[in-house]
Amino acid sequence: MNIIEENRKHFSYTLQHKDQNSQARAGEIITPHGKIPTPVFMPVGTHGAIKALPPSFLKPHNIQIILSNTYHLHLTPGADLIAKAGGLHRFMNWPGPILTDSGGFQVFSLQGRSLTEEGAIFKDAKGKDVLLGPEKSIEVQQKLGSDIMMAFDECIPHPATRQYTENSIARTHRWLKRCLKSWTQPEQSLFGIIQGSTYLDLRQRCVDEVCSLDLPGYAIGGVSVGEGHELMKKIVSHTAPLMPKNKPRYVMGVGTPEDLLMIWENGVDMSDCIIPTKYARGGTFYTNRGKIRIQHKNYRRDFFPIEPNCSCYTCKNFTRAYIKHLFDANEILGAILATIHNITWFQNLAAQAREAILENRFVEFKKNFLSEYQGR
């Protein structure tokens, strides 16, 4: 029995319902560390922690799965140390599912990196060269013990020429096959990544090649890299329906409410982004009527919660005036309360979308939500 067949004992996806008026779908992912109803939004804990939030706050606020980053954990504290601690779940005291990014985004985002057939070469904090390639990425992720591992790829920048894109995806596909050969832990699942920049025929080519490997799941990569909402929509609406119906579909790095609703409408199950937590630490809160900047003077005497109908710890216990005071005084508690609210708000959005899909009213839900959120 090969690794993919063995993995099916530990990981599965069930399509539970498809909306009658769109491609939106509701499903369930089963992993060794728990079930994940979809669509799902994954908060990002790059270094093995959701910034400004203890793990004990995650489950009570309906967080089902989090994302951590292979590249950063590889550099510090190191995969060997985390393995000795019993894996990332025990190391960070999080019992639920974890997805680890492969480090491929760093191929795109870090300055001073160079690419070879063996992988990507980066500078660490001390200026020392670090090689991260397919074999090392999978080795590190298996030591971390994540439920879902991502194949090592190049996140193609925007804009990119057709020739650059063709060369990049060819190398990414070679890397994927090396990742597959390095995968030895069947309780962990390996997802392939579909690149292709803005070239729809190349996206089709990637779907055909990557999905022919019959991996547990697949992701659309190389979006949310500066191409804008309409171009992202064009890519996702073309690519997602081509992907297998019986496997999870993941769009990497997408996190604005408008973008989330768009990808869900096109049949995507999973997404992640730093937006909720990053914006929270800067004092920006998400509400059903749009974003608010809590440092604004109007909130000095505002004794209502951030979102009157929100059941999160922040909204149930504190007022806008108090939270503004915390940010004005540079108190850490402000960032904590903002993070709790924002990730809860995003989880509620995903839960409401799932309910709408199950009731065949996703298109109406999206229209009504955006009308209120954008103030139209």
Query: Whole-angstrom Cα distance, residue 176 to residue 178?
Result: 5
CA atoms within 13 A on the CB side of 173: 20
The CA distances from residue 159 to 62, 120, 164, 319, in Å, are 37, 20, 10, 44
Burial, 301: exposed, middle or buried (Cβ in 10 Å; 0-12, 13-18, 19+)?
exposed
194 belongs to a structural domain: yes
Assess contact for 100 and 149: CB atoms under 8 A. Answer: yes
pLDDT tens digits for range 179-193: 999 999 999 999 999
**In angstroms, rounded to a whole number, what is the distance separating the alpha carbons of residues 276 and 59?**
17
- Both structure tokens of 113: 């990196």
What's the confidence (pLDDT) of residue 249? 98
| CATH number of domain containing 216 | 3.20.20.105
Residue 338 lies in a domain: no
pLDDT of the residue at 123: 79
Distance CA 39, CA 260 (A): 10
Cα-Cα end-to-end distance for the chain: 56
3-state secondary structure at position 155 = coil
CA geometry: angle 176, 41, 359, nearest 5 deg = 115
Contact 195, 169 (CB under 8 A): yes
Which pTM does this prediction carry?
A: 0.97
Q: Which of 226, 157, 141 is nearest to 190 (CA)?
A: 141
Contact between 73 and 44 (Cβ < 8 Å): no
User: How do 25-31 and 12-18 pair as beta strands?
Assistant: antiparallel
Which pLDDT score, from 0 to 100, does residue 15 have? 98
What pLDDT does residue 139 have? Answer: 98
Alpha-carbon distance 37 to 15, whole Å?
10
pLDDT at 376: 60
Separation between Cα atoms, residue 14 and residue 36, nearest integer Å: 10
Question: Residue 362 domain-assigned?
Answer: no
- Give the count of domains, the chain: 1
Tokens (6 digits) for 12: 């599965």
- Residue 125's pLDDT is 76
| 155 within domain boundaries | yes
The alpha carbon of residue 249 and the mean position of all alpha carbons in its chain are separated, in whole angstroms, by: 11
Residue 163: what are its φ and ψ, rounded to 5°?
A: -65, -45
126: which residues sit within 8 A by CB, 6+ positions away?
none
The length of the chain, given as a count of residues? 376
What was the pLDDT predicted at 103? Answer: 87
Residue type, 332: I
CA–CA separation, 357 and 17 (whole Å): 7
In a domain, 44, yes or no: yes
Sites in the chain below the pLDDT cut of 50: none
Q: Scanning the structure block, which residue is given the tokens 């749009």?
A: 290
> Would you say residue 177 lies in a domain?
yes
Q: Provide the pLDDT for residue 67.
A: 97
- The position carrying tokens 């019959």 is 214
User: What span, in angstroms and rounded, lies between the C-alpha atoms of 15 and 5?
Assistant: 20
Q: Is residue 202 part of a domain?
A: yes
- What is the torsional sign of CA 306, 312, 316, 322? negative
Q: What is the DSSP letter of 44?
A: B
What DSSP state is assigned to residue 214? Answer: -
Q: Taking a C-beta distance cutoff of 8 angstroms, is the pair 207, 243 a contact?
A: yes
**Cα angle value 253/69/212 (rounded, 5°):** 65
Could you list the residue range(s) of the whole structural domain that residue 89 is in?
Answer: 3-279
8 Å CB contact between 28 and 15? no
- What is the reported pLDDT for 28? 98
Check residue 61 and give its pLDDT: 87
Cβ-Cβ contacts under 8 Å for 176 (sequence gap 6 or more)? 134, 151, 152, 153, 192, 193, 210, 213
Give catalytic residue positions.
101, 272
